Amino acid sequence: NAGVMQNPRHLVRRRGQEARLRCSPMKGHSHVYWYRQLPEEGLKFMVYLQKENIIDESGMPKERFSAEFPKEGPSILRIQQVVRGDSAAYFCASSPEQGMGTEAFFGQGTRLTVV
Amino acid sequence: GESVGLHLPTLSVQEGDNSIINCAYSNSASDYFIWYKQESGKGPQFIIDIRSNMDKRQGQRVTVLLNKTVKHLSLQIAATQPGDSAVYFCAENRGGYQKVTFGIGTKLQVIP
């Protein structure tokens, strides 16, 4: 059973371009969470999705950022018109169900560099 | 405001000694806490968790202590090994799902 798969591992974009980050949850997991980590900082919650539904996007910037988790395929975090401040590591986690005590498994992350 | 923070940014420990990593939280309503280990270039890895109705929980070589009176959480690692070198985050889980609030992290350096 493969773990949470994120791709690409590294992504370089010029200012103004679009970045698409993909996350394939563990098999059997229907809950996906996206986090952003700046250097030397902890992870900041962005968005929580279930299949075809956004449950909580309170940590995601209102502009330029969007997320989806379609019925088929990976979850996508999309950043439009990237700026230097978007440079960070973006982590995805998945869990089989919601609720406290449900361990979430993290992927290896996508490191986005905006030049 | 609500936050989860750590006392020490870096901790150096001799191999074989015990390590203690501390964490303070400010939200008295927090009811579930998790310790994560993050190695360089990797995602966080679950170590151990504890609910607010407990004071102590033990795992393999690790123990988490929770003091709700002073809103303090600690992670103890017994017989620290070089493979324990990483950044350790305490995290707070609220909202009934994995909307986890992470602290800044403590970097543990094990001296061989």
When comparing pLDDT for A39 and A6, which is higher? A6
What Cα–Cα distance (Å) separates residue B5 from each residue in A2, A59, B29? Answer: 33, 19, 16
| Structure confidence at residue B95 (pLDDT) | 58
- Residues of chain B scoring pLDDT < 50: 1-3, 6-8
Subunit contact A41:B51, Cβ cutoff 8 A: no
Q: In this predicted model, which residue has the larger pLDDT, A98 or B58? A: B58
Q: Do the beta carbons of residue B99 and residue B1 sit within 8 Å?
A: no
**Higher-scoring residue by pLDDT: A54, A98:** A54
**What is the per-residue DSSP string for B30-59?**
--EEEEEEE-TTS--EEEEEEETT-SEEE-
Q: What residue of B is the nearest CA neighbor of A111?
A: B41
- Nearest residue on chain A to B100, alpha-carbon basis: A45
Nearest CB partner across the interface for A56, out of B91, B99, B103: B99
Partner-chain contact A105 B46, CB within 8 Å? yes
Q: What per-residue confidence (pLDDT) applies to A67? A: 98
For B44, phi and psi rounded to 5 degrees? -60, 145
Query: CB-based burial of residue A85 (10 Å sphere; 0-12 exposed, 13-18 middle, 19+ buried)?
Result: exposed
Question: pLDDT category, A12, cuts 50, 70, 90?
Answer: very high
Task: Answer whether residue A13 shows pLDDT above 60.
Answer: yes
For A72-86, write each residue's pLDDT tens digit: 999 999 999 999 999
Average pLDDT over chain A, rounded to an integer: 91
Residue-wise pLDDT for B17-39, tens only, equals: 999 999 988 777 788 899 999 99
Q: CA of B14, closest CA in chain A: separation in Å?
A: 23
* pLDDT the model gives residue B60: 92
Angle at A51 between CA A46 and CA A53, to 5 degrees: 60
Over residues A49-72, mean pLDDT: 94
